[in-house]
Structure 1
Amino acid sequence: MRARLRQRRDGKVEVRVTDWERKWEQLAKEAETIAADRLRAMDSIVERNQWKVIQAFQKQKVSDYHFAGSTGYGYNDRGREVLDLVYADVFGAEAAIVRPHLVSGTHTISAALFGCLRPGDELLFVTGKPYDTLHKVIGSAGDGTGSLSDWGVSVKMVALLPDGRVDWDSVAAAVTDKTKMFGIQRSRGYDWRPSFTIAQLREMTARLKELKPEAIVFADNCYGEFTEELEPPHVGVDLIAGSLIKNPGGGLASSGGYIAGRADLVELAAYRITAPGIGGEVGAMLGTTRSIYQGLFLAPLLVGQAVKGSIFAACMFESLGFETHPRWNDPRTDLIQAIRFQSAEPLIAFVQAIQKAAAVDAHVVPEPWDMPGYEHPVIMAAGTFIQGGSLELSADAPIREPYIAYMQGGLTYAHVKYAVKLAISELGIRGYLS
């Protein structure tokens, strides 16, 4: 709740600060003192990732003529070709394809899966049920939608153990002669579990290769880019995919996705994005090239700002007795901060407060609705410059037990602090805090 203004009899305006405003200020000072080492550690990661991106630009001799647009088929678009090479270097991959025509992370992941899998193959998710929007991509046999199952690709999922670790005995038992690909979701999605660090991905990939060396190890890398110093292909993952309106777009890319990894697998995915025999050789960039390059340049810094905001938010809410995941001092490997509420009402109030703190559409009050691709009503706060841009500060939650809000992003640390302040004040004023 903002400070109250009152006009005195002498005509001067007096600022009256609420009790929650005072409490917030003290909590914020204490939180930043407690979390100081974690916040500094993120600054170090930002520096190393920034240097890595700059060196990739330098290696590929990026110049301003690479930002020129192309039309029609986009033949010989050198800016597009070099962009793919830069992404491959940054992500430790043999090859990459980066395109504005990929409309979301789900679309990008779908292109990677359909590009590499064939009828009769089996996809085995070793990290449990994937994110909600992939459920329709998986589909069911004969559903008529062109889903993986409709095309004869079988999909199995091995649930994680209660502590969030991979159930290796069950994974080993699930592998068959048809297993063509192992699927890993790096981020927690809508689950109360740890996201997987790069060190864990290294170990997971090694164990999966022992189980079936020829199988493809695929990782959904959404929300994880630049949160650590290495990316999944650096530690042996064969193929990754992600969205440009999340971390790597740096808040500037207005659309798009990327796929990176082994050159043969990226080529197969490119055939799915366009058509067999065409692949990544065509595709006008529609005036987006400069913003995608510049967004990648800014991404390490802005991801760092978002992660620092999540650390701060966790510390603040823990001090008020809330359960958070990850906790403020846990290792970070993605943007997402989960906060558990006791009922739907404070959950909704929290998400509405995040919207109220936005620079864009702050006057809009989000309500739960049946959003396409989700199985439960979802409430989303997204006062963003890029629609759905979740490197920008946003929050969303399925309205189901347990009542967990997932906050992510924040182009500036100051914005996240402001939003947390407003959320705590709103919860206090509405009587949801003691």
Structure 2
Amino acid sequence: MNTHQLDKLALEVEGEVQNVYREIEAKAMVNHARVLEGFHLARVSDYHLKGSTGYGYDDAGREALERVYAHVFGAEAALVRGQIVSGTHAIAITLFGLLRPGDELLAVQGSPYDTLEELIGKRGDAPGSLKDLGVTYKQVELSQQGLLDYAEIGKSLTSKTKVVLVQRSRGYAWRPSLTLNELKKLTSFIKKAAPQALIFVDNCYGELVDTLEPPAVGADIIAGSLIKNPGGGIAPTGGYVVGKRELVEMAANRWTAPGIGAEVGPSLGHQRLLFQGIFLAPHTVAEAIKGAAFAARLFERLGFKVSPGYNEERSDIIQAIALESPERLVAFCRGLQGASPVDAHVLPEPNYMPGYEDDVIMAAGTFVQGASLELTADAPLRAPYSVYLQGGMSKEYVRLGVISAAKAVMQVK
């Protein structure tokens, strides 16, 4: 397919996805109203946008921001801090806060996201892992269809099960992301089978995709990154933990120290960006989902398997495309990088990244390093050589990037 034919196909695809765009916009309106309501309830004022230094005692802006997050996510309390460096870090402080030696952590969707394996102790022998500290780990595999296996989950839940780890996104796996309806069914099942178990959701990539968040359907606590969805594409760093008050406090005690918890932590010069980021997030997440729908339909029309399909229900911003060869995978990432506003001249190469078992290739010409919501693509180099596309601050930018990636892929023999 030549460039002219691909551009013509892209126009056809743009027409095909318009009804999907309207559905996405309707959800964004609901989410934007909830975010705005959170700002009003927290009485956000100009002085809240200023940062603090040093210990960050009595930071009124930080407290207001956390009230906004608690409202947006439908929970009692929130910890939202720039000193949390990633989603993995947010998940780590939560797990270390909730679990004690002799407790059991149960994952119900097979192996969790790659960067959590060493943290848990499933892979490697990192000092200070949960395994090293005496926490046991079990996992239940998904069914052959990539769905939750309730029979095996029921068998695996015991009186020792302290925390059940649930991952909302697909991660680096060819499986459906977990919808909120399915999460509601899962939380109800777990509460009946093991009432003492805490349900912890890795919410990365899923924020504001639907009109509710996991605490509204039974999750006890959730965590994620600010350079993904809730940062709106402008948060320079940070992560969050949201949930029941006593559980958030336990996570905060691991973030700093017992007795100090969430009472310290300067907001520095990025307080305004964190407020503005969550305010913009419903719109920017909607734009990213529109871009994912466009990418899904375009590559489907080009003959590639995609997950989810362009008009399927979504619970995260990730679009998986099975490229079936390492050469196509590299070409896709290079094509996307070439359409980026930053480092467009750079040629991505597969390489080792901390926390990952396989070499990873990543396209991320972003203003904030590695910010997934801006428009990135990455993948481990393993069969079926699927690329995982996420983000896009505007659907127009995603379209330009995806067409550039498609042109590069179609040139591979």
Structure 1-normalised TM-score?
0.93
User: What is the CA distance between 1:108 and its match in structure 2?
Assistant: 0.5
Aligned to 1:95: 77
Where do 5+ consecutive residues of structure 1 fail to align?
1-18
Aligned to 1:200: 182
CA 1:185–1:78: 2 relative to 1, 3 Å: same
Q: Which amino acid aligns with 1:20?
A: N
Aligned to 2:139: 157
Alignment partner of 2:246 out of 243, 264, 276: 264
Question: How many residue pairs are counted as aligned between the two chains?
Answer: 413
| Residue aligned with 1:31, SS | helix
Would you say the 8 A contact 1:123–1:182 is kept in 2?
Answer: yes
RMSD of the alignment, in Å? 1.2
Would you say the 8 A contact 1:187–1:223 is kept in 2?
Answer: yes
Where do 5+ consecutive residues of structure 2 fail to align?
none
Would you say the 8 A contact 2:339–2:400 is kept in 1?
Answer: yes
Deviations 1:200-233 (A, max 9, x none): 1111100111111121000000000011100000
Q: Distance in 2 between matches of 1:193 and 1:61?
A: 41
Alignment partner of 2:40 out of 55, 58, 74: 58
User: What is the CA distance between 1:167 and its match in structure 2?
Assistant: 0.9
Structure 1 residues 42-81: aligned runs within 5 Å:
42-81=24-63
User: What is the CA distance between 1:286 and its match in structure 2?
Assistant: 1.6
- Match status 1:365 vs 2:380: no
Poorly superposed stretches of 4+, deviation over 3 Å: 140-144
Q: Distance in 2 between matches of 1:325 and 1:140?
A: 27
- Match status 1:395 vs 2:377: yes
Deviations 1:377-428 (A, max 9, x none): 1100010000010001110111111111101001111111001111222223
Q: Which of 1 and 2 has greater Rg?
A: 1
Would you say the 8 A contact 2:362–2:379 is kept in 1?
Answer: yes
Aligned to 1:240: 222
Alignment partner of 2:264 out of 257, 278, 282: 282
Structure 1 residues 260-339: aligned runs within 5 Å:
260-339=242-321
Q: Distance in 1 between matches of 2:404 and 2:49?
A: 40
Q: Distance in 2 between matches of 1:398 and 1:281?
A: 39
Q: Distance in 1 between matches of 2:304 and 2:123?
A: 42
Alignment partner of 2:192 out of 196, 199, 210: 210
Q: Distance in 1 between matches of 2:80 and 2:32?
A: 19
Q: Which amino acid aligns with 2:218?
A: G
Would you say the 8 A contact 1:141–1:150 is kept in 2?
Answer: no
Q: Which amino acid aligns with 2:263?
A: E
Aligned to 1:254: 236
Q: Distance in 2 between matches of 1:398 and 1:266?
A: 33
Aligned to 2:4: 22
Would you say the 8 A contact 2:327–2:412 is kept in 1?
Answer: no
Q: Distance in 1 between matches of 2:406 and 2:205?
A: 25
Aligned to 2:323: 341
CA 1:45–1:367: 2 relative to 1, 3 Å: same
| Residue aligned with 2:372, SS | coil
Structure 2-normalised TM-score?
0.98
User: What is the CA distance between 1:128 and its match in structure 2?
Assistant: 1.1
Deviations 1:324-364 (A, max 9, x none): 00011110111100000121111110111111110000000
| Residue aligned with 2:268, SS | coil
Aligned to 1:3: none
